[in-house]
Chain A
Amino acid sequence: MTTTAATTSPAQLATPTDGPTADALLTVRDLTVLFDTPVGPRAAVDQVSFDVRHGEVLGLVGESGSGKSVTLASIMGLTRADTAAISGSAVLDGVDLISAGESVLRGVRGKDVGMVFQNPMTALNPVRSVGAQLADAIRLHDRRVSKTELRERSVAALAEVGVPAPEMRLGQYAHELSGGLQQRVAIAMALINDPRLVIADEPTTALDVTVQAQVLDLLLAARDRGTSIVVVTHDLGVLAEVADRVAVMYAGRIVEMGPVTGVIDRTGHPYTAGLRASLPRLEQRIERLTPIGGAPPLLVDRPGGCAFHPRCPIAGEICGTERPELIAAGADHRSACHRVEILRG
């Protein structure tokens, strides 16, 4: 029942305030990443705030220029400090990753947080065997592990992600494996130290659809074991398959956030709605698609007011001048749109 929520005053700001939410594993507040451009500093990520709750899959969806990958990279300290100015906080277990030093981050990466990247071929070291890399992942965080235990845990990790003949794989190299297997190995590496959180950046984009389905299954299995997952993707279908909650990013900001059914079914933002409407459906042939006009803005060329307004079918005057903040649009569902009632009504 959304009508009740929609009748609450639009001025009621529901943005998360300072402290971390009680049941959140990762709390990101006001994350801002500025890059130097020929026209001055620009925010690739602009005051982004969200929580990742325990045992959930959060989908971060957006297109080019949305800032979704930069967001992840900044949280994990992978953006180069000399090119980006990062502010805000990302608190995991009481530790703010943004202000933490490299040594703290190194302790977190691979142990508390596992990372899976888009192209497994580049994520795996081509000159080290699979077994060596898995062992590295373990040993980096625990020097005292014995060789036997390293081997056992590596084999177990590979088996858990469905790699056939895991003992044999230990001696193989990345190029000997298919794309799907490589991604499984990459996921095994991310999971091997039992992290609380897994961050996956476009984990299925480079894969065939049948393999993609298997990889998504793996992520869900990890979630069922209690790991929280953040999946960054441009594919709404991936969200529909695995996400519990979704944050939609556009031009560096979160424009909509809420449970996946809410965002997809009763969307509160014209961008999300437009995206949904423009995609062809497998189940049924549509005569004609309705694309969103224009293109996602470049970092250096963002419109004033609401960044989406030039492409928005329901844009009003206020949209060109005033930037919308996230306001309530349903149960646990927020949207940054001045005209959200029009979508609902």
Chain B
Amino acid sequence: MASSLAPAIPRRAAPLRSVQDLFHRYGAITVIPWAVLALIVLAAIAAPALPFYDPYTQNLSSAYLSIMGRDEAGTLHLLGTDTLGVDTLSQLLLGARLSLTIAIGSVLVSTVLGVALGVAAGYLGGIVDRIVVVLIDVSLAVPRVLFMIPVVAVLGSSLWLLILLIGVTGWVVFARVVRAQVLTLRRRDYVDAAVMMGSGHLAVMVRHILPNLHGTILVLASLDLGAVIVMEAGLSYLGLGVQPPDTSWGLMIEQAQEYIVTDPRLLLVPSIALVTLVLAINLGTRPFTAELRPTRRRRGPVPIALGA
């Protein structure tokens, strides 16, 4: 029967001509987080160029300065200083740089690893699939953070190691979801058509399977990003992540614990920053994860159950 569910010629998306168009298309709930994210990322990148940026110099005589406090040299500390006199804002920025680097790096590692294994398993089937499935089951049996603890204890916690570790332990979600989707995709006739042209397995996977996974990969990566940031903070809090004199938001939170009564600012600053970042990521990636949310009935041209 003719597919009367075929869409009418889709409206070509009107080009965005102004900031208002952006708000109109995506709504404030998405655009504002984007702005916040952009701000954080820019600040993190630009930090070393900023005049006041100095996350290492201690100055015990100007410790515990409050917001907008000035130290004895007359320098303004926008967010005050910590227990050792180090500028809090600089530490925040350093933390941002490190957290974001680790987060993006490890999500990349997880994505590449997970997608490659998922596609191979789903498309090639057979023994490759069996091996990957076993690997998935084994990885799921080992709690991720728990696994990282002894490794970090033994190998130390350099930046690269952290990225690699978090990345390598995070591939499973990607692989499972991608594999399931590939199982569907490979039965599409266009895959058969590609085989009939003489395409080899690799060519088909790269040219036909991978591009049709865009949406899925984006969704998974968005979700993973937020999770990894929190995970890194947790590791640092446990002393397994970033080490002094470097700092991360997790470490700042850990160090601020004992001063929660005397100087709550030390705890509030990194906590608010962390919450803001994760919230911004989760809200900002909502357009990509739209399919995951149950939709209200919407207006619009409708394919009804009985066709037209």
Q: Do chains A and B touch in the complex (CB under 8 A)?
A: yes
Contact B301 A117 (CB under 8 A): no
Indicate if the CB atoms of A300 and B306 lie closer than 8 Å: no
Indicate if the CB atoms of B301 and A202 lie closer than 8 Å: no
A83 contacts B306, C-beta separation under 8 Å: no
User: Whole-angstrom distance between the alpha carbons of A117 and B305 in the complex?
Assistant: 10
Which residue in B9, B302, B307 is a CB contact (below 8 Å) of A35? B302
How distant is the Cα of A83 from the Cα of B300 in the complex, in angstroms?
Answer: 6
How long is the Cα–Cα vector from A69 to B300 in the complex, in angstroms? 18
Residue of A nearest to B299 (CB): A36
A234:B308 contact, CB within 8 angstroms: no
Contact with B along A136-163 (1 / 0, CB 8 A): 0000000000000000000000000000
The contact string, 1 if C-beta is below 8 Å from chain A, for chain B 5-17, is: 0101101000000
For A205, what are the chain B residues with a Cβ–Cβ distance below 8 Å? 1
Which residues does chain B contribute within 8 Å of A202, judged by CB atoms?
Answer: 1, 307
Nearest residue (CB) in A for B302 is A83
* Docked pose: A218 CA to B194 CA in angstroms: 44
**A36→B301 contact, CB < 8 A:** yes
Interface string of B277-303 (1 = CB under 8 A from A): 000000000000000000001111110
Chain B residues with Cβ below 8 Å from A300 are 8-9, 301
Q: Is the CB of B297 within 8 A of A64?
A: no
Whether A66 contacts B8 in the complex (CB less than 8 A), given A38-B301, A80-B297, A84-B302, comes out as no
Q: B298 to chain A: which residues have CB within 8 Å? A: 82-83
Which B residues touch A82, using CB under 8 A? Answer: 297-299
Q: Which residues of A contact B3 (CB under 8 A)?
A: 64
CB distance from B24 to the nearest CB of A (A): 16
Give the interface centre of B2, B9, B301 by most chain A CB atoms within 10 Å.
B301
Q: Which of A70-78, A172-180, A279-287 contacts B (4 or more CB under 8 A)?
A: A70-78
Structural contact, B308 and A299, CB atoms closer than 8 A: yes
Tell yes or no: B127 within 8 A of A by CB: no
Q: Given A70-B308, A298-B8, A298-B9, A234–B299 Cβ distance below 8 Å?
A: no
Q: A46 on the interface (CB 8 Å rule)?
A: no
Residues in chain A near residue B8, CB distance under 8 A: 37-38, 298-301
| Cα separation A210 to B215 with both chains bound (whole Å) | 43
Residue of B nearest to A298 (CB): B8
User: Closest CB of chain B to A231's CB: distance in Å?
Assistant: 13
Chain A positions within 8 Å of B304 at CB level: 69-70, 73, 78-80
**Nearest-CB residue, chain B, relative to A74:** B304
Interface residues of A in 245-297 (CB under 8 A from B): none
Binding site for B on A (CB under 8 A): 35-38, 44, 63-70, 72-73, 78-80, 82-84, 117-118, 201-202, 205, 234, 298-301
- The 9 sampled A-B contact pairs (Cβ below 8 Å) are A69-B306, A70-B306, A72-B306, A73-B304, A201-B306, A298-B8, A300-B9, A300-B301, A301-B8
